[in-house]
Amino acid sequence: MVSPAPVFVDSAEVRELFPAARAVPAMREVMRAFSAGEVTQPVRTVLRPPARGGLEPGLFGSMPAHVPFEGRHWFGIKSVVVREDNAARGLPSHVGTVTVFAPDTGLPVAVLPADTVTELRTAAVSAVAADALALPGPTTLAIAGAGAQARAHITAMAAVRPLRGVRLWSRNPGSAHKLADWVRSAHGLDTEVYDTLAEATREAGLICTTTAAREPLLHDADVAPGALVCAVGACQPGARELSSRLVARSTVILDSAEAAAKEASELLVPVQEGLIGPDHARGELGAVLDGRVPGRDNDRERLVYLSLGLAAQDVAAAVLIARLRAERAAPDAGATWWLA
């Protein structure tokens, strides 16, 4: 018997089937499951081969997980190659796949583009954090960066908070102005580009840092009382977007305490500097969602959500997208779509 081939889902289908209205509830479900101990997931494995013959190989990340989602348990894996020089080729820096396997047979049932899934699920989890941790009511959103994550975060944040306006900063002003034009057209929001990040963030209630910075670019004086910072760019050891003093003077919420202890330079460096202790973070977002860890204490408390990214998020997103695609093709597929 020949095993059926997995379905390949392209980026356009991922975007169509996984808007913020679907992505945010799905990511809320998986974050609760993760912090409740229902997910089996090791910290990611990263291969960094040495350069040979003058050629830089980049790095390869492997991120498996076993995830409860929509009433069943799923194996899945995200495999990603990071090539920082891909921008010159007109390609994403992170390329790869997310593969999910049927819960009954173990057969691979769907393969999805990792860059698009990661982009949308990362922003959706930040929106989950904003919904749980940001002050209620209308707010101003500031964004550091002007790439795919910046765009996705604007859309996701608009799904959970009414936005008074968007304030943009990027090391590439041309990209920031293009993003501003898109925000005005797609969301109808007042949008302004600033010369410095400090100018963009000082009056914002919600700040998202989506850059590839290696050194801190957001500082303590740049963040107003009561603001929430969602920091998603520093997802590899050695990368930092936030200053040590900002982290030390803010309440920190994590996606994964285990991963942060090994990979989050945003925390590891201030610990080394003696500014904070190893238990500085209040807890995980999933524990905040189910009430085991307090979120915001008061209206002037500054919070930081540090996102490293979880394979469980990718697997759950891929399962939802693959199911929706199967049901669109065969509306009676129902709860056994992976057997088709």
Outline where 61-187 has alpha helix (H): 114-133, 148-160, 173-187
Residues 105 and 143 in one domain: no
Residue 52's pLDDT band, with cuts at 50, 70 and 90, is confident
Residues 268 and 334 in one domain: no
Residue-wise pLDDT tens digits, 182-225: 999 999 999 999 999 999 999 999 999 999 888 999 999 999 99
Which CATH number characterizes residue 55's domain?
Answer: 3.30.1780.10
Tell me which residue range forms the domain holding 178: 119-310
Residues 205 and 279 in one domain: yes
Which CATH number characterizes residue 264's domain?
Answer: 3.40.50.720
Residue-wise pLDDT tens digits, 103-132: 999 999 999 999 999 999 999 999 999 999
Q: What tokens appear for 338 in the block?
A: 């992976």
What's the pTM? Answer: 0.94
Q: What tokens appear for 227 in the block?
A: 């603001």
Do the bridges between strand 163-169 and strand 139-144 make them parallel or antiparallel, or are there none, so unpaired?
A: parallel
The vertex-124 CA angle with 119 and 128, nearest 5°, equals 150
Residue 61's beta-bridge partner residues? 46, 80
198 vs 229: CA distance, rounded Å: 13
Q: Which of 233, 241, 231, 252 has the alpha carbon at shortest distance from 301?
A: 252
Q: Is residue 144 part of a domain?
A: yes
Q: Which of 196, 197, 213 has the alpha carbon at shortest distance from 149?
A: 213
72 vs 105: CA distance, rounded Å: 13
160 vs 158: CA distance, rounded Å: 6
Residues 128 and 88 in one domain: no
Residues 113 and 160 in one domain: no
55 vs 75: CA distance, rounded Å: 34
| Phi, psi angle pair for 78, to nearest 5° | -105, 130
Residues 106 and 134 in one domain: no
Residues 157 and 147 in one domain: yes
Residues 296 and 320 in one domain: no
Q: Look at the chain and report how many structural domains it folds into.
A: 2
Residue-wise pLDDT tens digits, 21-37: 999 999 999 999 999 99
Residues 23 and 75 in one domain: yes
Kind and range of the H or E element at 20? helix 20-35
Q: Is residue 2 part of a domain?
A: no
231 vs 119: CA distance, rounded Å: 14
Residue-wise pLDDT tens digits, 135-173: 999 999 999 999 999 999 999 999 999 999 999 999 999
